Structure 1
Amino acid sequence: MTNFIPIFPLSIVVFPGEQLNLHIFEQRYKQLIRECAEQQKPFGIPSVIENNVQELGTLVEIKEIRKVYEDGKMDISTRGIKVFRTLELIKEIPDKLYSGAIVSYPDDVNDGSRTLMQKVVSGIKELHKLLEVTKDFKITEDELTAFDVAHHMGLNLQEEYELLGLFRELHRQEYLKRHLNKVVPLLAEMEALKEKVKLNGHFKNLSGFQFGE
């Protein structure tokens, strides 16, 4: 299935199911949001990486216009629906300030492994412990998917975009597990180094080496 959607390119990756709050201040996007809200239609957020609009993005729906300022600026709440692939960018639309795109929607396979997801969640807990941060995912661990946790594990923008381009839940889980297997030991090593540096200059209570008889 292909269709035309208005687009709001941003230097972020939005995942399906994600709740995203946006402050709308540019004239073209104030127009886009007003029209989408009035017509109850979604719009697309294609990712912008290194100043280039990428092929993939996420269709989002407006959940609420939370505040409208005197100058027309808005605070809105949105929710990611599904991933799209851009087939053609329409940079200029008659009588519109914003751009659009003709897009298709890749099929997504929900073949995730609960065991593998538990390992991912366990790795995230270890990561957060090392970073001394706490996160509330709002839903139970048994319900969590790769997209639910991806923003909470230190992926950079390019890595988040790579995850967006995986259309099987099992592959997304494996991607996150590989990332954690790389990052957590590195952080643990840094933590040990930090403790070592703290001890420098302090009196050390160490046992002497015992030579064998």
Structure 2
Amino acid sequence: MPDSIDPCDKEEMEPLRFPGRGVEGLEASVRQLIAESEQQARLLDSLSAAPDDSALPYASIAPGFAPGRPGPAAPEPRFILTLDGTAFEAELDALSDWVHDFLLPTYGAEVSTATPWCQQWAEHLEVVGWLHALWMAYQQHTDPEAGPSGPAVWHRDFLTHTMAAIRAPGGPLSACMTSLDRPSHRILPSPHGPAPTPGDEQLAASGVAA
């Protein structure tokens, strides 16, 4: 049986050597990678956190609102005859712009005894109610969410009926202008007495005589 080999009898084994910078270099590279990973993790945490609006340049212009972020919900539209005071006046101004800039130039038929009109229509409270309802329906049915048939529905269900009602020979404007050459304005009395004009109720509530 051959004698066992004694490691001491052989030449001393050379230590393992890593190419390049050796163990110290590898440890430094690992430490650098760990540091970079921690830095990236902190960056991701900061990006996922909610932004601080107070630090943004537009915060002083519109608090709580930022470009690209949804702002506060718009108030629900209200029928004009349920408003009063400055809210009524502001809504009437907006309605007048729509009537004079869009409705009359587009759908204002010729003034005649069959289709009377009044240049002071805003003083006829009934007409204000009709036209405001028509305007609200117009905004709803011309919205993209109403679909391609929305405007056709507005014409069929709202425009034709409204204009026929307020411009009928016996309608609320029948005592007003029947010819452009003869402007006229008169509010017909109701069964309860003279019809109120916009602002009368506010004056009555404040105790000021009209």
**TM-score higher than 0.5:** no
Q: TM-score, normalised by structure 2?
A: 0.25
Greater length-normalized contact order (CA 8 Å, ≥ 6 residues apart): 1
Greater helix share, structure number: 2
